[in-house]
Copies of this chain bind each other. A is one copy, B any other.
Amino acid sequence: MNIQVFKVADVPIEWEEHFVGKEIDPRTQSFLTWESLESVRRNKVGLKGPMATPIGKGHRSLNLTLRKELNLYANVRPCYSLPGYKTKYDGVDLITIRENTEGEYSGLEHQVVRGVVESLKIITRQASLRVAEYAFHYAKTHGRQRVSAIHKANIMQKTDGLFLKCCREVAEKYPDVVYEEVVIDNCCMMLVKNPSLFDVLVMPNLYGDIISDLCAGLIGGLGLTPSCNIGEGGIALAEAVHGSAPDIAGKNLANPTALLLSAVTMLRHLDLHDKADRIQDAVLKTIAEGKYRTGDLGGKSTTTEFTNAICDHL
């Protein structure tokens, strides 16, 4: 039924559908099939619904498998107040750009002795430069004024220190973009006090995970925020980041906003800006009107009713 929106908006896309597999695919070590990865590699773009990782052993999280196999190095999460949907915050307009491949997500952990375990956080110059470059380029091409690098280099001087060093190097190439460095704890305090202090934020993996959820909370939650993963070779995989809400699965109650706004980022990546604008406008208008809203937004509409309302605005 999200496809319906694209049809009504006349988006010139031929969809290839891939489902999560029933068994672990040995080539991906997860329930994600090799064919689905190949499809993204071939088409360079993809749109991914929320996926729960089935509980079991010997496999990786589906999200992590995607990031790793497709080398999705930057995760871009725009977060803006939706007109008409009131929260405690007005006029939020933030872009979190998260390093998506390393840091605390290395998967390297071991027991040192009984009762003592360690995890390795890995920061590389290559991945840090790459995500910093992406962030500054994004700021420049999207008319953004400021990039804030978020870190804890007062404690992790070597790892976060390297990350900052790379950001500084890249910042030099973008004299028109203001560059600043903010410690993660202070950043969280400032975000809840006054989110307008920030613009584009770039950071290592775990901080990006935390900050992007915090930002989503400011405007109403993950059900409303788009996300797009950028990979080498121009790959863009848009995704709804919220959970798969098994409690309402199949009940026609889910809110498709995050998925549709993520699709909008995918359309922009394909330079289909007019289509992107049309869909984004229709989604925002439907929410602003407030007549049809799904349960998570305090309404009583089904997914179909909400989607139909969006189509009516197209």
Taken together as a complex, chains A and B put the C-alpha atoms of A105 and B214 apart, in Å, by: 23
- A residues 174-229 touching B (CB-CB < 8 Å): 184-186, 188-193, 206, 209-214, 216-218, 220-222
Taken together as a complex, chains A and B put the C-alpha atoms of A80 and B310 apart, in Å, by: 42
Whole-angstrom distance from the CB of A249 to the nearest CB of chain B? 19
Do A156 and B189 touch (CB < 8 A)?
no
With A125-B115, A221-B193: A184-B210 Cβ-Cβ less than 8 Å: yes
Do B218 and A192 touch (CB < 8 A)?
yes
Taken together as a complex, chains A and B put the C-alpha atoms of A160 and B90 apart, in Å, by: 35
- A residues 102-140 touching B (CB-CB < 8 Å): 104-105, 109-112, 114-126
Tell me which of B111, B120, B123, B214 contacts A120 (CB under 8 A).
Answer: B120
With A109-B156, A124-B115: A188-B206 Cβ-Cβ less than 8 Å: no
With A188-B188, A222-B189: A119-B217 Cβ-Cβ less than 8 Å: no
Please tell me if A88 contacts chain B, counting CB pairs below 8 Å: yes
Residues of B within 8 A of A210 (CB): 184-185, 188, 210
Do A159 and B119 touch (CB < 8 A)?
yes
Residues of B within 8 A of A126 (CB): 115
Taken together as a complex, chains A and B put the C-alpha atoms of A104 and B121 apart, in Å, by: 9
Whole-angstrom distance from the CB of A295 to the nearest CB of chain B? 16
Please tell me if A308 contacts chain B, counting CB pairs below 8 Å: no
Please tell me if A291 contacts chain B, counting CB pairs below 8 Å: no
Do B214 and A109 touch (CB < 8 A)?
no
- A residues 44-97 touching B (CB-CB < 8 Å): 61, 64, 87-89
Q: Which residue of B lies closest to A128 (CB)?
A: B115
Please tell me if A152 contacts chain B, counting CB pairs below 8 Å: yes
Residues of B within 8 A of A145 (CB): none
Taken together as a complex, chains A and B put the C-alpha atoms of A111 and B122 apart, in Å, by: 10
Residues of B within 8 A of A216 (CB): 189
Whole-angstrom distance from the CB of A304 to the nearest CB of chain B? 27
Q: Which residue of B lies closest to A205 (CB)?
A: B155
Taken together as a complex, chains A and B put the C-alpha atoms of A206 and B204 apart, in Å, by: 14
Q: Which residue of B lies closest to A189 (CB)?
A: B217
Residues of B within 8 A of A156 (CB): 104, 109, 119
21 contacts between A and B (CB under 8 A): A87-B193, A104-B152, A109-B157, A110-B158, A112-B122, A114-B125, A115-B126, A116-B123, A116-B125, A117-B122, A117-B124, A118-B122, A118-B123, A118-B158, A121-B121, A186-B213, A188-B188, A188-B210, A188-B213, A189-B221, A192-B192
